[in-house]
Every structure is written in C-alpha cells, then in structure tokens.
Amino acid sequence: MKIAKNNLLNSILSSVWMIDKGYAQSAMPLVVELIKGKPVSFDTQTNTNSLYSINSATYFDYDDEDGAEEVKEEMIAILSVKGAITKNDQYCGPTGTVTLGKRIKALDADPNVKSIILDIDTPGGEASQLNTTATIIKECKTPVIASYSGLCCSAGYYLASACDEIYAQENNDMVGSIGTMLTVADFGKMYDKAGIKIHDIYADQSTDKNQDYYEALKGNYEAYKAEWLNPLAQEFIDFVKGSREDVSSSALTGKVFNSKRAMNKGLIDGVKTFDEVIERANELSATNKNTNSGEAQTNNTTMKFENIANALGFDNTEMEAQDGHISMSVENMEKIEAALANVPSATDEAVENAVSAEAFDALVARVDAAESGLAEAKEKLEIMGEATHIAPTTASKANDEVKEDPVWNKDENTNNQAIDKDLGK
C-alpha cells in the first residue's frame, strides 16, 4: 500500500513511544524514506474484528460501531490489536486507540455482549491516549480477556494489563518490554547535503522553547528523561502494578519474557489456544456485571416490593420501579403515614423494660442484704453456742423449740418486709 500520511509521520517523529526496540529498528529504513517524502510500501496487518455467537458458535463480522446491533443474541466480541499501535486510525492499517476505546465502550453498553477478547500481536506503539483507553478497559462491566500470539510488548501490554485475564497462545510468544523511549532525529547533515540552511527564530519571551530538543542533539538527554520519559514510564509501571498485584518488580524494567517466564513473573495468567480463550470468555460471561437489561431490572424490583405493597394496602403497580427508582405521589405518602401510625411503637415497651430492669436491680440488692444478715446471724449463733456450751441441734431434736435472737429476728423481718414490698405482696 503506497502511503505518505502526515499523521503517521508526525506520530513517529514527535511522540513518545512504548515499543519494542527490535521492531522500531526494523522500521527505521521505511521511516527515513517517509522523511524524504518518498512513497512507502508497508506490509500491513488487517484488523479483523468479529462477534462470536455463544448459542450458535458462529462468527459475524464486526468492522464498524453498528455491527453489534445486527446480532440479537448473546455474543463474545473479538477486537484486533495488531501491528504498531497509534493514537489515530492509520490509513495503512491499524485502528487507533481513540477508536478502540470508543468501540469497547459501545460493546460494554450492549447487553447482548457477554465478554470481550482483545486479539493482540503488537510490538507496542504510541504512548499518547494509552492510559485513557486502558482505563476504559479496566472499568468495563463486561469481562475482558487479552489473548496474544507473537508479541504483546510495551504499549500492547499496557492495554493487556487492563484486562481481567491475559493468555499467551504459545509457549514461545513474547511479552513485556514495559517502559518508554524517544528517538530524536538530527536532520542537519541531510539539510546541508540538500543545500538547505535552517534558521530558527524565537520570541524574546520564549527562551526555553524547544531547549530539551536542542540539548538532546548535543547528547544531553536528562531534560527529556525528567520531563517526558520518566513520568510516562512511572505511570505505565504504576498502572501495571495496580492491575496485576502479583507482578514481579524485575518484570517492570523493560525486559521481554517467553510464556513460562512471564507466568513466573506474574505478567500473564497462562497459555491457552484461541479456542480455549473463547471457552474461558464464555465461562466469564456468567460473571458479566452489565445490568443494561431494563425489563429484567424492573421485574426484579417489582417482585422485591410486592410484600411491602400488600402490607400498606397498595396496588402492586403503585410500587412499580422505573429505571431502578420508585416514584411516590402525595396520596401514596399519606397511605404510608397512616399505615405506620397503626404500627405499635417499640418505644413504650423499651421504657417499660428499662423500668423493670431497675426494679430487678433493686430487688437483687435487697436479696444480697438479706443474705448478708443471715450470715451475721449465723455467726452470732455460733458465738452464743460456744459461750453456753450448747451442742448443735441434731435431727433427733428437730421438734425442739429454738429460741430466736430478737435482734437478728428484727433485722430479718425488716429485710423480708422490704423484699415483699418489691415483689408487690
């Protein structure tokens, strides 16, 4: 395909990239030809998006945002993420991350879509818009699985890490390359050879404009790293760590891993063929958090409040939910007020129970005092017995009269009278 597109060239020359270095190096000859203004032929990968019917196991084409509406049954959406990732759609092939994010939002809102699969084979790409699109994926109510064949590197892994699960299709597939890079081209000699002399003129107030670029041309890269590369790399790392809690810190420095090592590093969840990923997506569809089916939601809510409606003397339709809410007229509120007025209040009973508890506490105190008096009386009797040499009463003398201590008897009667009074006798 012959192309000379300004947006692609602009992305290559001015954007920060999250891409595998090997792929970037292999593309440099074509980039040079683009810079020279020559037509370039790219071997493009076709982005084939499709819908998989869960019931009929049939694939349907899905190449535009309205494709999902043509299939009125439960389905799994398959979105292609292949080739170099760019922010904007490229005439030479890949769909940009802006369009990808919009498409995922549309699928997530469709109640017929039960799962989404990202079919990935990418070395990475442009950093711009990545965090926004990855956040859209992460916030989906619909389960999202990443399945990659070949490469899932850098920007590609940024998107994959936002998915619920990540699977390689083969053991030798490569994943990782978590980091950022920027290539600065010095066209000075090319312009000199062409006989072109460049003069850059800046306003007096713009003394710092483009200084990072000129410092980089001199070999001073710290400004670019501090202002651009390091913040974006840290954002990338933080996103991955927030999405993959078990990821090893040794996997976050830009290295690339095969499937076995990637599993050990916590980068992926396993190895599955694409058919196995379809099966897994079907399993996850049972956990779909998408509640866009208004009819089912309304029926469930109505059923939930039937008993309340009956208790208040309402017609069931008076408590029917619309869009998850119940509207109440003033007349209905008056009915509820009247119904609640006839319900016995628990306040009086609580107060009564509290008073009874206080009386019970007082009674316990009286009993404790009586027991204390009995103990004192027993002690006095023992002392009197020792003083008069009276032997303890035996069973054979059970009918003998025992003289009572008038002092103790007086205390006992006083305590008994108090207890009788507390008991209401």
Mean pLDDT for all residues in the chain: 75
Q: What is the mean pLDDT of residues 138-144?
A: 95
My answer on whether 51 and 67 are in the same domain is: yes
Token output for 133: 């699109």
Q: What is the pLDDT of residue 297?
A: 39
Q: What is the dihedral of CA 100, 103, 105, 111, to 10 degrees?
A: -150
More confident residue, 272 or 96: 272
Residue 376 CB-half CA count within 13 A: 13
My answer on whether 221 and 317 are in the same domain is: no
My answer on whether 280 and 298 are in the same domain is: no
Q: How confident is the model at residue 206 (pLDDT cuts 50, 70, 90)?
A: very high
Phi, psi of 172 (to 5 degrees): -95, 5
Instruction: Decide if 348 is inside a domain.
Output: no
The residue out of 241, 271, 287 marking a domain boundary is: 287
Q: What is the pLDDT of residue 423?
A: 47
Q: What is the pLDDT of residue 326?
A: 63
Of the candidates 182, 172, 36, 16, which has an alpha carbon nearest to the alpha carbon of residue 85? 16
Is it the case that residue 129 has pLDDT exceeding 70? yes
Q: What is the pLDDT of residue 51?
A: 83
144: three-class secondary structure by DSSP: strand
Specify the pairing of strand 2-3 against strand 17-19.
Answer: unpaired
My answer on whether 215 and 99 are in the same domain is: yes
Residue 91, strand partner residues: none
Token output for 414: 């006083």
Count of H-run helices and E-run strands, the chain = 16, 13
Quick check: 280 and 76 in contact, CB under 8 A?
no
Is it the case that residue 134 has pLDDT exceeding 90? yes
For residue 329, the one-letter residue type is: S
Is it the case that residue 117 has pLDDT exceeding 50? yes
Residue 175, strand partner residues: 152, 257
My answer on whether 40 and 59 are in the same domain is: yes
Residue 271, strand partner residues: 168
Q: How confident is the model at residue 132 (pLDDT cuts 50, 70, 90)?
A: very high
In angstroms, the Cα distances linking 312 to 194, 301, 316, 336 are 90, 17, 10, 6
Is it the case that residue 5 has pLDDT exceeding 80? no
Q: Which residues contact 27 (CB under 8 A, 6 or more apart)?
A: 84
Q: How confident is the model at residue 396 (pLDDT cuts 50, 70, 90)?
A: very low
Q: What is the mean pLDDT of residues 53-66?
A: 70
Question: Which stretches within 305-402 are classed as H helix?
Answer: 306-311, 330-341, 346-388
My answer on whether 250 and 305 are in the same domain is: no
- Of 62-71, 174-183, 219-228, 269-278, the poorest mean pLDDT is in 62-71
My answer on whether 418 and 333 are in the same domain is: no
Residue 15, strand partner residues: none
Residues, the chain: 425
Q: What is the pLDDT of residue 89?
A: 79
Q: What is the mean pLDDT of residues 315-325?
A: 53
My answer on whether 94 and 109 are in the same domain is: yes
Is it the case that residue 104 has pLDDT exceeding 90? yes
Is it the case that residue 79 has pLDDT exceeding 50? yes
Structural domain boundaries enclosing 316: 294-341
Label residue 289 exposed, middle or buried (CB < 10 Å: 0-12, 13-18, 19+).
exposed
More confident residue, 107 or 421: 107
Quick check: 145 and 280 in contact, CB under 8 A?
yes
In angstroms, the Cα distances linking 120 to 27, 48, 265, 378, 403 are 19, 11, 20, 95, 106
Q: Map tokens 């899932």 to a residue.
A: 152
Most confidently predicted of 243-252, 280-289, 398-407: 243-252
Instruction: Decide if 87 is inside a domain.
Output: yes
More confident residue, 125 or 39: 125
Token output for 175: 């994943």
Query: What's the number of domains the chain is made of?
Result: 3
Instruction: Decide if 397 is inside a domain.
Output: no
Q: How does pLDDT run across 166-195, given as a tens digit for each residue?
A: 999 999 999 999 999 888 888 888 888 889
My answer on whether 370 and 317 are in the same domain is: no
Of the candidates 103, 114, 109, 175, which has an alpha carbon nearest to the alpha carbon of residue 146? 175
Q: Which residues contact 202 (CB under 8 A, 6 or more apart)?
A: 209, 210
Instruction: Decide if 18 is inside a domain.
Output: yes
My answer on whether 244 and 111 are in the same domain is: yes
- CATH number at 159 reads 3.90.226.10
State the Cα angle at 102 between 98 and 106, rounded to 5°.
Answer: 170
Q: What is the mean pLDDT of residues 330-340?
A: 72
Q: What is the pLDDT of residue 410?
A: 47
- Of 33-42, 157-166, 264-273, 395-404, the poorest mean pLDDT is in 395-404
Instruction: Decide if 346 is inside a domain.
Output: no
The residue out of 287, 303, 331 marking a domain boundary is: 287
Q: Map tokens 């370039």 to a residue.
A: 40
More confident residue, 246 or 39: 246
The CA distance from 113 to 107, in Å, is 6
Q: What is the pLDDT of residue 316?
A: 55
Q: How confident is the model at residue 259 (pLDDT cuts 50, 70, 90)?
A: very high
Q: Map tokens 């990545």 to a residue.
A: 130
My answer on whether 244 and 262 are in the same domain is: yes
My answer on whether 323 and 387 are in the same domain is: no
The CA distance from 121 to 330, in Å, is 61
